[in-house]
Amino acid sequence: FLVDIASISPSILLRMQAHDRISDFRTAKLRYLRLARLFRMQRFFAITEEWKVLGGISNAVLALCNRVGLIIYMVHVMACAWSATALEVQASGMDVMTWPAGLQAAKGGMEALYTEPWGLYSLSLYWAIMTLTGIGYGDITPQNYIEYWVASAGMLLSGGLWAVTIGEVCGVLTNLQPHDTAMKLEADKLNWLMEERGVSSDKRKELRRYVYEVAHVKKMEDQTTVVQNLSPMLQGYVIGAMMDNFYSKVEYLRSLQPDRVVRLSSSLKPRLFAPGETIHPERSLFLIRRGIAARNGKIMTAGEVWGTDMILENDHLRESNPVRCLSYLEVLSLPVEALHAVTDNAPDQRVKIRWAQIRLALWTAIRKIGAAGQMLKRNSGIDLAQLEPEEVSLLCVDVLEGNFRNPEPWLQRRMTIRASKSPVASPRASPQPSENARAGPPPASSIAPSDIAQMKAMLELLTRQMDMLTPAAAKRQ
């Protein structure tokens, strides 16, 4: 309010003077009160703070824009002050030369350039830019003591502003892309190391390429640090946007509560592997963010996952084939210990994980037992339907314990078991069963009783093996 009153007071006083209410007042000086409007510029800083929130403007870019705006404003003020000095000296009637007169005497030119407002402002703006940047051509110089004072003040202010601007611009440009700067520094260090250690030229190319590729991993680590500084609710929003593709591909992760997902995401570790590198099996879940890999003859690209069987406690049920990198492979890895730490104090979440573990274990076990049966039939011509329940149990135990790699040892054990069960031949003839006994009751269904017994034995054995081979999971349950 006070700023507005001060800025409009010249108009009020000029009207009063026009009606002879004010006398002996230098009305020209009243116009300078309009400069009070400049104090309203402080609202501009509040507006820029709002821009940061609404538009997401980079602080580095905003700092550069603020500095450029300040320089333009400073140049404009200096130009106005320099031209106003000449006009004030001419209006005062002092018998001294002004800088427009000296410039006109030295260079000549259009009369309007030295008398009209736009001409004086153009020359003053040229002088202000020249003074601010320190170029100093020397064609526009002060001609009286008032102009010397104004020029001295302008040089002091503009010199300090220019020095601060140069320093701030250098700092902003240095930190504008911190990841690229850090990557270039690491590349220089690597070059010095390879030069001192005498690394071959072929290996140098691979090492430099890896340093440039690992910059994406460093950026991901910095993003993780930024997310951890947010509140839990905001972390959930950010992680939901970043990792939704990851968690939606894994059944037992989709059922986790949002707060558990936030805690689990803090354990995600970005990793980078070089082309031709082999990733050996480990109890971790992997998400491909960038690159191409192959496993079991299947090509995997960005967005695909492997290692979902990390929740299985039985080492022989988990996939044991390694992953081969066909290009630079950037992944996110989640260790199984992180999942246990998140669900240990949440019974409802632990039950869901346990059920997923049981389903995955049963499916994997049946698939591996089926593959063992196919191998047995292919090598020895024995079908699973021809086996006794005890032999099926023996086969399941060997598969779940990782002992069924070659059918020959298992066939020898089978023959040993059958030989131990065979009765000793008796010299007496065994009694012949009667006709009714030989016929027996008619079957109740088309499924043979031996098949039903084998199926029951297999399910009982799998359940027993699950409890036996997953002690840690059973203890958590």
How large is the average pLDDT for residues 284-304?
91
Give whole-number Cα distances, 244 to 107, 287, 303, in Å: 72, 12, 11
> Cα torsion for 80, 81, 82, 87, to the nearest 10°?
90
Q: Is the pLDDT of residue 99 over 60?
A: yes
Q: Is the pLDDT of residue 299 over 90?
A: yes
Which residue would you say has higher pLDDT here, 225 or 468?
225
pLDDT at 197: 85
Please check whether residue 270 is in contact with residue 225, taking contact to mean a CB–CB distance below 8 angstroms.
no
- What is the number of H-type helices and E-type strands within the chain? 21, 8
Q: Which residues contact 78 (CB under 8 A, 6 or more apart)?
A: 124, 127, 128, 131, 132, 154, 157, 158
Given CA atoms 111, 116, 118, 124 in this order, what sign does their dihedral have?
positive
Taking only the tens place, the pLDDT of each residue in 344-396 is 888 888 888 888 988 898 888 888 888 888 888 888 888 777 777 778 888 88
Judged by average pLDDT, the poorest of 41-45, 64-68, 152-156 is 41-45
Q: Which residues contact 178 (CB under 8 A, 6 or more apart)?
A: none
Mean pLDDT of the chain: 77
**Greatest distance between any 2 Cα atoms in the chain:** 156
Which residue would you say has higher pLDDT here, 15 or 226?
226
* pLDDT band, residue 113 (cuts 50/70/90): confident
pLDDT at 43: 63
How large is the average pLDDT for residues 291-295?
94
DSSP state of 441: P
* pLDDT band, residue 284 (cuts 50/70/90): very high
Q: Which residues contact 407 (CB under 8 A, 6 or more apart)?
A: 375, 376, 379, 380
Tokens standing for residue 36? 């009070």
Judged by average pLDDT, the poorest of 53-67, 108-122, 411-425 is 411-425
Report the DSSP beta bridge partners of residue 287: 305, 332
Please check whether residue 317 is in contact with residue 359, taking contact to mean a CB–CB distance below 8 angstroms.
no
pLDDT at 408: 80
> Cα torsion for 221, 222, 226, 228, to the nearest 10°?
30
Tokens standing for residue 33? 């009160």
Please check whether residue 285 is in contact with residue 310, taking contact to mean a CB–CB distance below 8 angstroms.
yes
Report the DSSP beta bridge partners of residue 270: 332
Report the DSSP beta bridge partners of residue 271: 331
Report the DSSP beta bridge partners of residue 290: 330
pLDDT at 129: 92
Taking only the tens place, the pLDDT of each residue in 131-162 is 998 887 888 889 988 899 999 998 998 888 89
CA atoms within 13 A on the CB side of 209: 12
pLDDT at 325: 94
Tell me what percent of the chain is helix, strand and coil, each rounded to the nearest 5: 70, 5, 25
Return d(Cα 124, Cα 146) in angstroms, integer: 15
Which residue would you say has higher pLDDT here, 212 or 447?
212
- Cβ burial, residue 62 (10 Å; 0-12/13-18/19+): middle
Q: Supply the DSSP string of 105-145, one letter for each residue.
A: HHH---SHHHHSHHHHHHHHHHHHHHHHHT---SSS---SH
When mean pLDDT is compared over 13-27, 60-74, 278-292, the highest value belongs to: 278-292
pLDDT at 36: 53
How large is the average pLDDT for residues 226-243?
75
Return d(Cα 91, Cα 94) in angstroms, integer: 8
DSSP state of 152: H
For tokens 């009153």, the residue is: 5
Start-end of H helices in 198-257 = 201-213, 215-228, 232-247, 251-254
User: What percent of the chain is modeled with pLDDT above 70?
Assistant: 75
pLDDT at 20: 46
pLDDT at 470: 45
Q: Is the pLDDT of residue 326 over 90?
A: yes
pLDDT at 216: 78
* pLDDT band, residue 294 (cuts 50/70/90): very high
Q: Which residues contact 182 (CB under 8 A, 6 or more apart)?
A: 215, 218
pLDDT at 422: 62
pLDDT at 437: 39
> Cα torsion for 199, 202, 204, 207, to the nearest 10°?
-120
pLDDT at 180: 78
Q: Which residues contact 2 (CB under 8 A, 6 or more apart)?
A: none
* pLDDT band, residue 56 (cuts 50/70/90): low
For tokens 């001409």, the residue is: 119
How large is the average pLDDT for residues 413-423?
73
What φ, ψ does residue 265 adopt, rounded to 5°? -65, -25
User: What percent of the chain is modeled with pLDDT above 90?
Assistant: 12
Q: What pTM did the predictor assign?
A: 0.58
When mean pLDDT is compared over 2-11, 47-56, 382-391, 442-451, the highest value belongs to: 382-391
pLDDT at 84: 87
Q: Supply the DSSP string of 381-438, one letter for each residue.
A: ---GGGS-HHHHHHHHHHHHTT--S-HHHHHHHHHHHHHHHSPPP-SSPPPPPPHHHH
Tokens standing for residue 203? 């290996």
* pLDDT band, residue 428 (cuts 50/70/90): very low
Cβ neighbours around 260 below 10 Å, total:
16
Taking only the tens place, the pLDDT of each residue in 448-467 is 444 445 555 555 655 555 44
Q: Which residues contact 246 (CB under 8 A, 6 or more apart)?
A: 253, 287, 305, 332
Q: Is the pLDDT of residue 293 over 90?
A: yes
